[in-house]
Structure 1
Amino acid sequence: MKKNYWLLLVSLFMVLFGATAIANADEKTPDDQFRVGMETAYAPFNWTQTNDRNGAVPKSGDSNSYAGGYDVQMAKKIAEGMDKELVVVPIEWDGLVPALNSGQIDAIVAGMSPTEERRKEIDFTDPYYESDLVVVTRQDSDYADAKSLDDLNGAQITAQLNTFHYSVIDQIPGVDKQQAQSDFSAMRVALSSGIIDGYVSERPEGVTATNVNDDLTMVEFDEGEGFETAPEDIQVAVGMRQDDPDLNQVNDILSGIPEDERTQIMDQAVEDQPSSSDSADGEEESSGLLATFKNIISEYGILFLRGAGLTLVIAIFSTIAGTIIGLLIGIFRSTPESESPLLRALQKIANGILRIYIEVFRGTPMMVQAMVIFYGVALLFSIDMNRTIAALLIVSVNTGAYMSEIVRGGIFAVDEGQFEAAQAIGMTHGQSMRKVILPQAIRNILPAIGNETVINIKDTAVLSVISVGDLFFQGTAAAGTNLLFFQTFTIVGAIYLVMTLTATGLLRLMEKKMDGPNSYNKIEETTTGHE
C-alpha cells in the first residue's frame, strides 16, 4: 500500500506539473493587446487552420492553431488602427457575450448582427458587413428550386440557437419549424442526413457550404419574396461593452475602410478558406474515404493530439483530486459524533454544508456548473480565470461530489469487525481509518475510480462551453472549417476510444497489483521422528 500511495503522489505531481505548463501558455493580457472573441468555426467569417497561411493569426493559448477569415482580417485592421496587437480568443457562440461583459475579451468580431435584443446587453459599432438571408438545402430536395417563402411550405427548417435567423423562420407559410441547433456544424450534419430540409443562414456561409459539398444548394429569393428583416438584422458589427470609450475609435477605423475593399476581403476569404482550397502542399487531394481521413489527420492531427493531451491532463488530475476530496469528506462524514455539545453542533453544520455541496454538484449538469463558475467568478469578482485552471477546478469539484459518496460506501462496506478489532488493540479512530479501514476501502472503490476516470475523459467535452481546447473543441473547430463532420468526428471518436481503453487497462493492472497473486501455495514441512 505504501508503494501505491507514493505512486499516487508522484502521479499527482506529474499531472500538476503538466497542467501548470499548459496553463502558463495563456499569459495575462497586457493593455497593448486587442482581444477579440470568435468561434473560429464559421467560415468564411472565421475558421481554424494549422498554419499562418493567408494572413491567419495564432489563436490564444495554442501556438499550433491559427484563426483565419473575414472577421480576422477586419479585426487586424481595427487593431492596427488602435496601434495594438491582435489576439484572437476562440470562444463558443453562447459564451461570447458573457466573455465580453466579464472582461475576458475586448470585442466580439464573429459575424454577429446588432439586434435589438443584443443591444440590451452590449453595444455595437457601425456595421462592417451586410448580407442577405438564404436557405441552405440539399440538391435533391423538393425545395431546391424555391424562389419565394411560399415555395418552402411544409419544409422542416431550423437555424442557429440565439440568433435572429431562428425567429424569421416563422415567416415561412406552413413551415415545420425544427428545434434550433447549437452551431452550423450541427445543422449541416442534420441537413446532410435528412433530418431537416434546410436551415436559414447568411449568403457567405451558404456559398461556403455549397462550394464544399456538391450535394447542397443555396436558395436565394426573388426581390420582395424573401424574409422581411430590419436593417440591423442583416448587418454584421463589432460587439463591445456598454459605454466602452474605444467604441468611437473603432467606428472611425471602420469608416476608413471603403465598401469595395470590404467586398474584396470577403471574396478573398471565400477563396482562401481551407475547406475550398487544395491541400497544403498544393497538390490535388486524393479521392475516397480513406484518403479523406488521411488528409484530415495530416491537416489537423497536431491539434487533435494537443486536445487529447489536455483532455488526459484534465481527466487524470480531476480524478485524483476528486478522489482526495472524496476521501476527506467520506472520512469526515463517517466520524462518530463528538461527546462535546459544541463540537457536535459544528459537526452537524459541516455535514449539512457538505450535503448541500454533494447534492448541488450531483444534481446539476457539469456544463451548467462550468458556465456558472467560469463566467460567474469573472462577473462577480472581476477574476479572469485561466481556462485550463478553471477546467481542472470544475471537473475536480464535480468528481469530488460523486467520489465522496463512493468513498463513504466503500468505508461502510468494510466489515464492522475490522473497526472493533482495531479499537480492541487500542487504536484511535484516526489510526483505525488510516491503517485498517482505508486500505480496504480504497481497494473496494478502485473499480469506481476507474469508472470516474473514463467518465471524466469523455465529459471534458462539455467544457467546450467555456472554450477549453480539449479534443472535442479541436474536433468541432476542424469540422466547422472543413465541413467533413462524419470523417472528422470518426477520428475524434477513435482517439477517445483509445484513451478510455488505455485508462481502463492500466487501472485493471493496478487492481491486480493490489490484489496480489491469485492463489497462494501452502508449503507443508515434513519432519521425521517418533510420534
Structure 2
Amino acid sequence: MKKTITILMILMMSLTLVACTKQTTNDTRKDLVVGLEAAYAPFNWTVTSISDYAYPISNQPGSHVDGYDVQMSKELARILDRNLIIKAIEWDGLIPALNSGEIDVIIAGMSPTSERKLQINFSDEYYRSEIVMVVKRNTVYENATRLVDFSGSKVVAQRGTLYDDLIPQIDNVVHQTPLDAYSNLVASVITNVSDAFVAELPVAESVVKSNPSLTIVKFEEGYGFQSEEADITVSVGMRKSDTDLLIEINSALAQISVETRNQMMTEAVIRNNESELNLFGLISKYISLFVQGVGVTLLLAITGTLGGFILSLVLVAGKTQKIDKKRDGVVKKIFKRIANGLTTTYIVLFRGTPMIVQAMIFYYGVKLITDLSWWTPLSAGLIIVTLNTSAYIAEILRGSVNAIDKGQMEAARSLGFSRVKSLLYIVYPQAIKNALPAIGNEFIVNLKDTAVLSVIGVLDLFNATHQVVGATYDTVTPFIITAIIYLFLTGVTSIAVNYLENHQAGKELKHA
C-alpha cells in the first residue's frame, strides 16, 4: 500500500511540474501583458497556424490568436517598445485578472461603461463601431428599420456587456437572460429561442458570414438605440493605480490614425471569413487545438482524482477518529476533536460550493496576495480539482469504512497494530475495493466538470471548443465533435472500471 501511494504521489508531482514549466526569454524589455478572450471574432479569435498576423497565447502553449485586438496590441507594444505577452481569459475573468495583476491591460473589444469605470481605468477609444441587431432570415424582423419594429420581441445579449443594458429601450421587449458567449447568442436565435440579439457591426458581420440563415438589421438614423459615446467605442482597460501606463497608452494610440485602425479591422474581418469549413475541414484545421484540450482534460482528471484519493485517506482518518473516554488523555481527546472538526469543515466547504466559485477564489485570490511564478491557471486547476475531489472521495471511503465489521479493527489492535497500520493494511484495502465503482465514477465526473476551469483560462477540451466556436461562429459542429470525444473518454473509463471490478470479483471467487 505504501509503495502504491508513493508511486502515485511521484506521478502526480511529475505531471504538475511538467505542466507548470515556464518558458524563459532573453528579451530585456519591459513586458506588456494583454488579456483577451481569443473567442470574439473579428476582434480576437484562436488560430492554430502561424502567420504574420497570429501571435502566441502565453498561457495556452501551442495556440495562437489573431484579430483586430491582436494587431492593435502588437502596434501598441511596438510604439511603447515593450515585449508583448498575450493571455486568453474568459470574459467574466478579464477584470479580476487585471486587478489581481495577472495581466497589465485588457484589449478585448471592451467598452468603457460607467459600471466598469468604477473598477478600472480606460484609455481613449481605439475603435468606434455601430450597434445593430442580428435576426433570422425570413422572419417579420428581417426588414426592420426602427427599434419600435422589435416591440414585443424576445431579445438577448452577451452577459456583462453594454448591449444587454440597451435592450430595455425596446417597447414591450422580452428581455431574456444574458448569455456568456456570442456562440450561445447565435444558437439562441437560430433555434428560435430568441428573435434577435444585440451586437456591434464587425462582430455581426462575422456571425452572419458563418451563419447564412442570419442577417443584420441596421437602423435608420435617429431610430435605433440611444447610446452614449461609451456605447459605440472600445478602449484599453487598465488598473486604477496605473496612471503612468494610461498616459503612455493614450500617447501611443494618438500615433495610430483612424484610417490605419479601420484598415486593420477590415483586414481582420476578411481573414476571419476567408473560408467556410465543413465538418472535416473544421476538424482538420483545429485538430491540434482539440488534441491539446483533450490532453489538459486528461491531466486534470487523472491528477485530480489520484491526488484527491491520496488526500482523502488522510481526511477519512481524521473524520473517523473515535474518542476513548477511558484510555485517551486530555491532550489526545482535544487532538481528535480538532482533527474531526477540521476534516468535517473541509468536506462541507468543498462539497457545498461549486468548483467554478472555488476556481475564481483560489486563483485570483492567490494572485492578489502574492505573485508566484508557478501559479498558472493549469497549476491552480490541478490543485483545485485535487482539493475538490478529495472531499467527495473522503465521504465515499468513509461510508465504505463504516460498512466494514468493527471487529476487524479491534482484532488488528489486539495483535499490536497501531491505528494507522490497522487502517492501511486491514481497513483501507477492503474499503477501497468496495468503493472502486464510486471512485471510478468520480473520475468520470472530473473529466466533465473540469470544463468550469475555463473561467480562469485553463485550455481544457471545453475551452478549446469554445475558442473554435468563437473563431467560426459555428455553434453546432464543434460541440458535436466535443460530445463525441467526451463520450469516448467516459466510455473507455467505464469499461476500465468494470474490468477492474470484475477482475477483483474473479480473484475473490478463485480464493474462496
TM-score clears 0.5: yes
Conserved? CA contact 2:44–2:67, under 8 Å: yes
The Cα shift of 1:13 comes to: 3.0
Conserved? CA contact 1:26–1:61, under 8 Å: no
Compared CA separation, residues 141 and 59, structure 1 to 2 (3 A)? same
**Which amino acid is the alignment partner of residue 329 of structure 1?**
L
The Cα shift of 1:439 comes to: 1.0
For residues 166-245 of structure 1, the aligned pairs below 5 Å read 166-244=164-242, 245=244
Compared CA separation, residues 511 and 518, structure 1 to 2 (3 A)? same
For residues 113-512 of structure 1, the aligned pairs below 5 Å read 113-244=111-242, 245-273=244-272, 276-278=273-275, 292-337=278-323, 339-383=328-372, 385-512=375-502
SS in structure 2 at match of 1:373 = helix
Instruction: Tell me which residue corresponds to 1:50.
Output: 48
Compared CA separation, residues 144 and 27, structure 1 to 2 (3 A)? farther
Q: Distance in 2 between matches of 1:207 and 1:507?
A: 48
Q: Distance in 2 between matches of 1:356 and 1:222?
A: 60
Q: Distance in 1 between matches of 2:24 and 2:362?
A: 20
The Cα shift of 1:352 comes to: 1.5
Conserved? CA contact 1:36–1:109, under 8 Å: yes
**Which amino acid is the alignment partner of residue 220 of structure 1?**
K
The Cα shift of 1:12 comes to: 4.5
Segment of structure 1 superposing worse, 177-186 or 381-390:
381-390
The Cα shift of 1:508 comes to: 2.5
**Which amino acid is the alignment partner of residue 170 of structure 1?**
P
Conserved? CA contact 2:155–2:174, under 8 Å: yes
The Cα shift of 1:494 comes to: 0.9
Deviations 1:49-98 (A, max 9, x none): 10123511011133421100000000000000111121110000000001
The Cα shift of 1:9 comes to: 4.3
The Cα shift of 1:430 comes to: 2.5
The Cα shift of 1:516 comes to: 4.2
Instruction: Tell me which residue corresponds to 2:79.
Output: 81
Q: Distance in 1 between matches of 2:115 and 2:302?
A: 42
User: Which runs of no fewer than 5 residues in structure 1 stay unpaired?
Assistant: 280-284, 286-291, 523-531
User: Which runs of no fewer than 5 residues in structure 2 stay unpaired?
Assistant: none
**Which amino acid is the alignment partner of residue 420 of structure 1?**
E
Flag the structure with larger Rg: 1
Conserved? CA contact 1:54–1:272, under 8 Å: no
Match of 1:16 among 3, 13, 16: 13
Q: Distance in 2 between matches of 1:22 and 1:177?
A: 43
SS in structure 2 at match of 1:52 = coil
SS in structure 2 at match of 1:237 = strand
1:32 matches 2:30? yes
**Which amino acid is the alignment partner of residue 358 of structure 1?**
I
SS in structure 1 at match of 2:177 = coil
Instruction: Tell me which residue corresponds to 1:525.
Output: none
Conserved? CA contact 1:461–1:470, under 8 Å: yes
SS in structure 2 at match of 1:520 = helix
Conserved? CA contact 1:75–1:86, under 8 Å: yes
Q: Distance in 1 between matches of 2:345 and 2:379?
A: 24
Compared CA separation, residues 521 and 446, structure 1 to 2 (3 A)? closer
Segment of structure 1 superposing worse, 391-400 or 346-355:
346-355
Deviations 1:238-264 (A, max 9, x none): 001113121111111100111111111
Conserved? CA contact 2:59–2:457, under 8 Å: no
SS in structure 2 at match of 1:168 = helix
The Cα shift of 1:500 comes to: 1.2
Segment of structure 1 superposing worse, 40-49 or 17-26:
17-26
Q: Distance in 1 between matches of 2:207 and 2:371?
A: 40
**Which amino acid is the alignment partner of residue 122 of structure 1?**
I
Conserved? CA contact 2:321–2:340, under 8 Å: no
The Cα shift of 1:417 comes to: 2.5
**Which amino acid is the alignment partner of residue 180 of structure 1?**
P
Compared CA separation, residues 254 and 477, structure 1 to 2 (3 A)? same
Q: Distance in 2 between matches of 1:9 and 1:504?
A: 26
The Cα shift of 1:313 comes to: 0.7
Conserved? CA contact 2:296–2:460, under 8 Å: yes
The Cα shift of 1:335 comes to: 2.7
Conserved? CA contact 1:155–1:176, under 8 Å: yes
Number of positions where the alignment pairs a residue of Structure 1 with one of Structure 2: 506
Deviations 1:96-137 (A, max 9, x none): 001011111110000000111111111111000011110111
Q: Distance in 2 between matches of 1:6 and 1:277?
A: 56
Q: Distance in 2 between matches of 1:196 and 1:304?
A: 30
Compared CA separation, residues 179 and 26, structure 1 to 2 (3 A)? farther
1:99 matches 2:88? no
Q: Distance in 1 between matches of 2:424 and 2:5?
A: 16
Conserved? CA contact 2:132–2:199, under 8 Å: yes
The Cα shift of 1:515 comes to: 3.5
SS in structure 2 at match of 1:517 = helix
**Which amino acid is the alignment partner of residue 296 of structure 1?**
L
Conserved? CA contact 1:306–1:471, under 8 Å: yes
Segment of structure 1 superposing worse, 497-506 or 466-475:
497-506
Deviations 1:474-500 (A, max 9, x none): 000001111122110010111111111
Deviations 1:315-343 (A, max 9, x none): 11111111111111101222322511122
Q: Distance in 1 between matches of 2:282 and 2:51?
A: 17
Q: Distance in 2 between matches of 1:26 and 1:150?
A: 55
